[in-house]
Amino acid sequence: MAAAAFETHDAILITDAQSNILRVNHAFTQITGYRAWEVAGMNPRIMSSGRHDADFYKAMWRQLLEQGAWSGEIWDRRKNGEIYPKWMTITAVKDEAGSTINYVAIFSDITERKRNEEEIRGLAFYDALTRLPNRRLFLDRLQNALAASARNGDFGALLFIDLDRFKVLNDTLGHDYGDLLLVEVAERIKGCVREIDTVARLGGDEFVVVLEGIGADREEASHKAGLVAEKIRDSLAHPYQLKEHEHYSSPSIGVELFHDGEENTDDLIKHADVAMYQAKNAGRNTVRFYDPGLQHDLDTRAMLENDLRRAIENEELQLHYQVQVDNERKLVGVEALLRWQHPVRGMIPPAKFIPVAEESMLIVELGDWVLHHACAQLVLWADDPLRSGLTMAVNVSAHQFAMHDFVEHLAAILQRHGVQPARLKLELTEGVVLNDIGDVVEKMRKLKALGVQLSLDDFGTGYSSLSYLKKLPLDQLKIDKSFVRDITVDQSDAGMVQSIIDMAKNFKHDVIAEGVETEAQLSFLKHHACLAYQGYFFSKPLPLEELERLIADWGSKLDD
Ligand code: C2E
Ligand code: MG
Ligand code: MG
């Protein structure tokens, strides 16, 4: 019976009182790789992995001697060198007099169980892609960091990191490349902080860093946090080699300090997030600290967004029109400019609500509204000799242009209203062009094929390179008003305008200057061979009735 019991699943090893091995069973050989004859007379120490220190064995022996038994987890080494975890129970066998004559160790290999445990732990607390702590573990660490700060009075900082235009990479090269970038980003962030700082991935392209113990003085702490944030920003802005592609990316980083348990985790996260958005608004690739004044702006923004959703159906939107003239002061067209008559706040300028609309994608719906109304207006003018020759310029936002069916959609609008396509001129900004250039050029070609005209608005304020510009099938460059403003006093603005006009000529594009306010500006532009003008000098943007009156007067003036 004893012999049968000896051969079980578990490994069994029996030693004498001096710990020399007397017998082992088959399971022992299976697990450790040692045959019975190889270990007979040896000390079990031959199997130790080196993973446990002297204190560990000391404690084990103390318990064995005092209580006659020990059990626990222990890492040993197999004959082939592999280190593995086992669960072991050692019992001292005593004679009648009470002195130990044998030790019996029974153990099982728990590698499999350990691996499962770790996998489960990993899934629950770590992000599978980057192996960084996930949101759950991050919240836990942040909680601890807040508690520690309350205890020791040191400041800490929470950094919110979001990659700029990550979606574009995913949409153009695919998710595989997106994943490669995220893994590399995780590595780079880790390389910028100390071992004790937490780097976590919240999901998507959002990362957070918790910095702890950065000093008891606010100014000092904010300086340190700023340095780390800047280091991360710089590191993430270096080019990435994603397989065969060299990719450029940058982050927007929001920073919020915490201290002494003054804030709870929710507020802290919200604030760092707000600061991150502020960094985006500041033009991306930027670090921003949380500023309480911002919260107010954001609340207003949220309110605007809500109201804007209802603006269309409540008929609060209008178009105003600003005239465009040529070198003979003849009217050549108008630009349609959106106005929002808010029931409580009064007239809200586009500079306030267009960015809100862009961020919430409401711009697509608004842009649609503008296109419909502008086209309807063109049709109303089609039979009138004074107005039928005018072009209607309509601003198209980057988001709107990026819709995959933008061209087809526009074609449908033109058809539905029966507009002569050549009367419609789309004003695109350089932001449109910064997206996937191949796609942009193809769309623009299709638009040209429909017969509509294309103008590049606010030209000179963006980053388009000459090589980009060369590829675009444009009809017109529109010189931004910021250059026109100081044209008569600022040498470099004057030079800039001159080059834009020359460039337009070279590319065989038409050129128009916006924001012309004075006679002096006009004559400078004329002198440098600009072709068309728009600005307060001729007229402000006007509501429809006023515009029609202006056109009628203009006509009679020309007749005189
Ligand atoms: P933009 O397309 O560059 O329009 C020209 C802006 O300059 C207009 O501002 C116009 O009122 C203003 N302006 C015209 N002449 C002068 C002048 O002599 N001096 C000065 N200082 N300014 C002048 P507005 O109407 O406030 O529109 C601002 C921007 O909002 C527009 O810039 C355009 O980017 C955007 N926007 C307006 N309507 C729409 C729209 O329907 N869709 C989209 N996506 N954006 C629009
Ligand atoms: Mg415009
Ligand atoms: Mg403009």
The full DSSP string for 289-306 is E--HHHHHHHHHHHHHHH
Instruction: For residue 560, name the pLDDT band (cuts at 50, 70, 90).
Output: very low
Residue 366: the pLDDT is 95
Give the residue-averaged pLDDT of 251-268.
90
* Residue 364 in this model has a pLDDT that exceeds 50: yes
- Token pair, residue 378, equals 């063109």
Ligand 1 pocket, Cβ-based, cut-off 6 angstroms:
322, 337-338, 349-351, 354, 363, 367, 370, 395, 397, 427, 457-458, 481, 514-517, 535-536, 541
Say how far apart CA 65 and CA 70 lie, in whole Å: 9
Residue 463: the pLDDT is 66
C-alpha 480 to ligand 3 mean position (Å): 5
Stronger pLDDT, 221 or 296, i.e. the higher one = 221
Q: Which atom of ligand 1 is nearest to the CA of 397?
A: 44
Instruction: For residue 294, name the pLDDT band (cuts at 50, 70, 90).
Output: low
**Domains plus CATH for the chain?**
2-115 (3.30.450.20), 126-290 (3.30.70.270), 314-559 (3.20.20.450)
Q: Of 395, 424, 428, which is best to mutate to test ligand 1, by the most ligand atoms within 8 angstroms of its C-beta?
A: 395
Give the residue-averaged pLDDT of 292-299.
69
C-alpha 457 to ligand 3 mean position (Å): 5
In 10 A of CB 26, how many CB atoms? 14
Residues 508-529 have pLDDT tens digits of: 999 999 999 999 999 999 999 9
Residue 437: the pLDDT is 82
Q: What is the pTM of this model?
A: 0.59
Instruction: For residue 295, name the pLDDT band (cuts at 50, 70, 90).
Output: low
With beta carbons less than 8 A apart as the criterion, state whether 501 and 528 touch: yes
Which residue's CA lies nearest to atom 43 of ligand 1?
395
Q: Of 322, 337, 399, 425, which is best to mutate to test ligand 1, by the most ligand atoms within 8 angstroms of its C-beta?
A: 337
Q: Which of 75-79, 251-255, 509-513 has the lowest mean pLDDT?
A: 75-79
Residue 219: the pLDDT is 85
Which residue's CA lies nearest to atom 42 of ligand 1?
395
Instruction: For residue 220, name the pLDDT band (cuts at 50, 70, 90).
Output: confident
Which residue's CA lies nearest to atom 44 of ligand 1?
397
Q: What is the 3-state secondary structure (H, E, C) of 461-530?
A: CCCCCHHHHHHCCCCEEEECHHHHHCCCCCHHHHHHHHHHHHHHHHCCCEEEECCCCCHHHHHHHHHCCC
* Residue 184 in this model has a pLDDT that exceeds 60: yes
Which residue is associated with the tokens 């109304």? 373
Q: How far is CA 182 from the centre of its chain?
A: 11
Q: Which atom of ligand 1 is nearest to the CA of 394?
A: 41
Nearest Cα to Cα of residue 434 among 172, 63, 43: 172
Which residue's CA lies nearest to atom 10 of ligand 1?
541
Residue 531: the pLDDT is 96
Say how far apart CA 333 and CA 313 lie, in whole Å: 29
* Residue 286 in this model has a pLDDT that exceeds 70: yes
* Residue 328 in this model has a pLDDT that exceeds 70: yes
Say how far apart CA 384 and CA 555 lie, in whole Å: 12
Residue 298: the pLDDT is 65
Q: Which residues surround ligand 3, an ion (CB under 5 A)?
A: 457-458, 514
Q: Which of 127-141, 204-218, 278-292, 401-415 has the lowest mean pLDDT?
A: 278-292
Q: Which atom of ligand 1 is nearest to the CA of 349?
A: 26
C-alpha 349 to ligand 3 mean position (Å): 14
Say how far apart CA 27 and CA 30 lie, in whole Å: 5
Say how far apart CA 516 and CA 327 lie, in whole Å: 13
Give the residue-averaged pLDDT of 151-160.
94
C-alpha 331 to ligand 3 mean position (Å): 18
* Residue 124 in this model has a pLDDT that exceeds 90: no
Query: Which whole-number Å values give the CA distances from 357 to 163, 275, 286, 309, 350, in the listed order?
Result: 21, 20, 23, 9, 10
Q: Based on C-alpha coordinates, what's the Rg of the chain?
A: 37
C-alpha 534 to ligand 3 mean position (Å): 10
Q: Which atom of ligand 1 is nearest to the CA of 363?
A: 44
Instruction: For residue 555, name the pLDDT band (cuts at 50, 70, 90).
Output: low
C-alpha 324 to ligand 2 mean position (Å): 11
Residue 558: the pLDDT is 54
Q: Which of 201-205, 260-264, 339-343 has the lowest mean pLDDT?
A: 260-264
Instruction: For residue 545, name the pLDDT band (cuts at 50, 70, 90).
Output: very high
C-alpha 337 to ligand 1 mean position (Å): 6
Q: Are strands 11-16 and 100-109 parallel, antiparallel or unpaired?
A: antiparallel
Query: Which ligand does the CA of 355 lie closest to?
Result: 1
Query: Which ligand does the CA of 393 lie closest to?
Result: 2
Give the residue-averaged pLDDT of 446-453.
97
* Residue 195 in this model has a pLDDT that exceeds 50: yes
With beta carbons less than 8 A apart as the criterion, state whether 254 and 272 touch: yes
Residue 128: the pLDDT is 85
